[in-house]
């Protein structure tokens, strides 16, 4: 199922190589594909307030992107270390790479010491299931180093280094994401105001994204290796989601991170306040319980994301939508176009 | 200050994976296991890191051996972490309870219930000095009466209750206690339980490292008294 979608996209999809504003557009002028059971409508992101309905609840991720790519130096020479996830006490999950466009593996061994952004860093252990990722121990403040000397993580499809601001959404408050939670990138305050005037409600969660390593495909049609990500669902947001569901209103996640957070907080038939790490894999087999719709970008290769889309929209609707998007020249990746997936209303 | 951990059953499987993970983070370690040769091999692997390694061979079910472990903890200046990982699986292949040898049952309870509590009692001053964390390794056999797993499961259910009770009792001295079910793993112990089965589909114990990284990064207030599954979809703090 997801394999067919992946193959199509690999062949034909167009990539966004720079942010909308570098392509002569405002952020909210990116294209928006609206996928519903009745078909696929081409629109623009700023039209979103006309597309959603009064009473709809949109849940956004208020995680802020950090400048997670740091320069490293070890006995094998210079490299970059992309921070993925902060485990506390200086322990991070991170991806050592040759450079932004070239992944590893680097000749590293547990017990090696390297310098990263001037800080002594110990190689602790390789991630058993995702061997391109390492647990590393910073003998110093990695977040301060990122603030001071880091750059946003980018991969080969983005040719230029853009400033950290290009990687923030207007909802970003709490630093911690290795890569931008990009689904909310096209939002301007004007769009938010128009949504509120249209009777659409907003709530937020926090989920700090780890590295995606876009050129590598770990995914399979089965259970892929998942690394955990920190998340938090507040009392207020849990209440808003449960209330919306009780009233038969639609809950739409802005981004796959929000789906992961809300579904992780699902317990005994409702969303409960939660704070911790999640390694939940949302697949069609598991299904979704807390969310109805999803506003997201276009996803390549990572069948974990496509599996989540299929869980929300159903395999046929998503496949048709992706065919439409490829044919219509929609742009993929973090700076690309948007996709609103609205399945039939529950019940 | 360098952190110090004591890990029982530290020469193989899960215990060794945790010990190696902590060594990589610069911990001073006390590791113990019954087989001196396995332990010596584990010690040599752990010495490739910056921290000190004290390896003491012996059975945690023996009081004098626990005394020497507690003394080692004192000599290293205190204990930030005690992992009660050593367990006795009991008779294998796993017999039904109706046929279980009672002397063997007592041994299982001695190793899996009395010994971990006794080691906590002995090391409590060292743990209190560092506001330490006690991790008692449990099992899903503690929750569901799997046929054949009665003796082991009953011992782990007891240990779970010891964990939750201690978590409440030790608040005054600043020591936190959690119970962790690591899940099925590709270890000698798991193979012993399923002697004729191919267990190569089970994850290696190293697959639980993200969980240990998370657990040890939490404030003790947020985790004290909780029971975790290392392979669960979420690990949550108290809210």
Indicate if the pLDDT at residue A8 is higher than 80: no
- Give CA–CA dist A282/B226, Å, rounded: 25
CA–CA distance, A95 with A179 (Å, rounded to integer): 13
Q: In chain A, what residues touch B216 (CB-CB under 8 Å)?
A: 87-89, 91
CA distance B232 to B226: 14
Q: How many CB atoms lie within 10 A of CB A139?
A: 12
| Structure confidence at residue A47 as a pLDDT band (50, 70, 90) | very high
Rounded to an integer, the average pLDDT of A71-97 is: 96
**Active-site annotation holds for B139:** yes
Catalytic-labelled residue, pool B138, B155, B163, B179: B138
Place of tokens 């109805």: A292
Cβ contacts of B239 on chain A, cutoff 8 Å: 273-275
pLDDT tens, position by position, A144-191: 999 999 999 998 888 899 999 999 999 999 999 999 999 999 999 999
Q: Which residues of B47-83 are buried (b: 16+ CB within 10 A; e: fewer)?
A: eebebebbbbbbbbbeeebbebbbebbeebebbbbbb
The chain-wide mean pLDDT, for chain A, equals: 91
A135 in B contact zone (CB under 8 Å): yes
Cβ-defined contact of B236 to A91 (cutoff 8 Å) = no
Among the partner-chain residues B204, B206, B234, the one whose CB lies closest to the CB of A276 is B234
Contact residues, chain B, for A135 at CB < 8 Å: 21, 24, 209, 213
Q: Is the pLDDT of residue A249 over 50?
A: yes
In whole angstroms, give the CA distance from residue A34 to residue B77: 63
pTM of the prediction?
A: 0.94
Q: Confirm whether B158 is a catalytic residue.
A: no
How many whole angstroms separate alpha carbon B127 and alpha carbon B136?
A: 14
pLDDT at residue A347 in the model: 38
**Is the CB of B174 inside 8 Å of chain A's CB atoms?**
no
pLDDT attached to residue B238: 77
Contact A181, A36 (CB under 8 A): no
Residues B142, B163: Cα–Cα separation, whole Å: 13
Cβ–Cβ of A124/B218 closer than 8 Å?
A: no
Sign of the dihedral through C-alpha A183, A189, A191, A197: positive
**Count of alpha carbons within 13 Å of A323, Cβ hemisphere only?**
9
CA gap B176, B228 in Å, rounded: 14
**Per-residue confidence (pLDDT) for residue A213, from 0 to 100:** 65
pLDDT in tens, A112-128: 999 999 999 999 999 99
User: Is the pLDDT at A277 greater than 50, yes or no?
Assistant: yes
Chain A residues with CB under 8 Å of B219 CB are none
Residue with the larger pLDDT of the pair A65 and A156:
A65
The answer, for B194 touching chain A at a CB cutoff of 8 Å, is no
Considering only residues A301 and A226, tell me which one the structure prediction assigns the higher pLDDT: A226
Q: Is B111 designated active site?
A: no
b/e burial code for range A39-69 (CB count within 10 A of at least 16 → b): ebeeebbbebbebbeeebbbbbbbbbbbbbb
Per-residue confidence (pLDDT) for residue A219, from 0 to 100: 43
Minimum mean pLDDT range among A17-21, A286-290, B41-45, B191-195: B191-195
Mean pLDDT along residues A205-218 = 77
What tokens were used for B39? 């332990």
Q: Could you tell me which of A70, A99, A85, A88 has the C-alpha nearest to residue A134?
A: A85
The C-alpha R_g of chain B, in whole angstroms, comes to 17
- Residue spans of chain B under pLDDT 50: none
- ipTM score over 0.90, yes or no: yes
Average pLDDT over residues A282-311: 89
Per-residue pLDDT, averaged over A261-266, amounts to: 98
CB pairs under 8 A between A and B: 84
């Amino acid at each position: 199922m997801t394999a067919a979608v992946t193959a199509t996209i690999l062949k034909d999809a167009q990539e966004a190589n720079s942010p909308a504003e570098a392509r002569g557009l405002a952020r909210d002028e990116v294209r928006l594909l609206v996928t519903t059971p009745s078909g696929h409508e081409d629109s623009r992101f700023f039209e979103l307030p006309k597309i959603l309905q009064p009473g709809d609840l949109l849940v956004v991720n208020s995680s802020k992107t950090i400048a997670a790519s740091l320069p490293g130096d070890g006995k094998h020479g210079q490299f970059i270390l992309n921070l993925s996830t902060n485990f506390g006490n200086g322990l991070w999950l991170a991806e050592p790479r040759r450079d932004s466009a070239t992944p590893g593996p680097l000749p590293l061994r547990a017990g090696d010491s390297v310098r990263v952004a001037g800080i002594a860093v110990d190689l602790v252990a390789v991630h058993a299931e995702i061997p391109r990722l390492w647990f590393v121990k910073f003998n110093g403040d990695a977040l301060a180093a990122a603030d001071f000397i880091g750059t946003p993580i980018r991969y080969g499809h983005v040719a230029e280094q853009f400033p950290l601001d290009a990687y923030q959404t207007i909802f970003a408050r709490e630093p911690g994401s290795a890569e931008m939670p990009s689904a909310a990138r096209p939002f301007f305050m004007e769009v938010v105001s128009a949504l509120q005037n249209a009777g659409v409600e907003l709530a937020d969660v926090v989920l700090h994204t780890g590295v995606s390593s876009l050129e590598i495909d770990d995914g399979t049609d089965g259970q892929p290796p998942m690394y955990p990500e920190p998340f938090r669902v507040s009392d207020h947001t849990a209440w808003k989601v449960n209330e919306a569901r009780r009233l038969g209103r639609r809950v739409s996640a802005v981004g796959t991170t929000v789906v992961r957070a809300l579904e992780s907080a699902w317990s005994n038939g409702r969303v409960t306040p939660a704070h911790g790490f999640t390694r939940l894999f949302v697949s069609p087999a598991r299904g979704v319980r807390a969310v109805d719709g999803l506003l997201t970008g276009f996803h390549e290769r990572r069948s974990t994301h496509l599996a989540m889309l299929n869980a929300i929209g159903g395999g046929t609707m998503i496949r048709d939508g992706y065919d439409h998007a490829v044919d219509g020249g929609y742009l993929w990746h973090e700076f690309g176009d948007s996709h609103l997936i609205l399945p039939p209303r529950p019940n | 200050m360098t952190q110090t951990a004591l890990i029982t059953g530290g020469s193989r499987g899960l215990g060794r994976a945790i010990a190696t993970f902590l060594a990589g983070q610069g911990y001073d370690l006390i590791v113990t296991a019954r087989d001196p040769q396995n332990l010596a091999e584990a010690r040599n692997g752990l010495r490739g890191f910056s921290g000190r390694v004290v390896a003491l061979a012996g059975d945690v079910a023996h009081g004098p051996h626990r005394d020497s472990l507690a003394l080692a903890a004192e000599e290293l200046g205190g204990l930030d972490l005690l992992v009660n990982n050593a367990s006795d699986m009991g008779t294998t292949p796993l017999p039904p309870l109706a046929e279980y040898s009672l002397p063997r049952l007592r041994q299982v309870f001695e190793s899996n219930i009395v010994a971990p509590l006794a080691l906590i009692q002995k090391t409590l001053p060292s743990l209190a000095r560092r506001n330490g964390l006690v991790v008692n390794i449990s099992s899903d056999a503690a929750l569901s009466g799997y046929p054949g797993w009665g003796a082991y499961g009953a011992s782990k259910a007891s240990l779970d209750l010891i964990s939750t009770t201690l978590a409440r009792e030790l608040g005054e001295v600043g020591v936190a206690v959690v119970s962790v079910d690591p899940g099925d793993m590709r270890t000698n112990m798991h193979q012993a339980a399923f002697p004729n089965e191919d267990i190569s589909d089970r994850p290696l114990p190293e697959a639980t490292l993200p969980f240990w990284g998370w657990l040890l990064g939490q404030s003790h207030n947020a985790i004290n008294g909780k029971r975790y599954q290392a392979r669960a979809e979420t690990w949550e703090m108290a809210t």
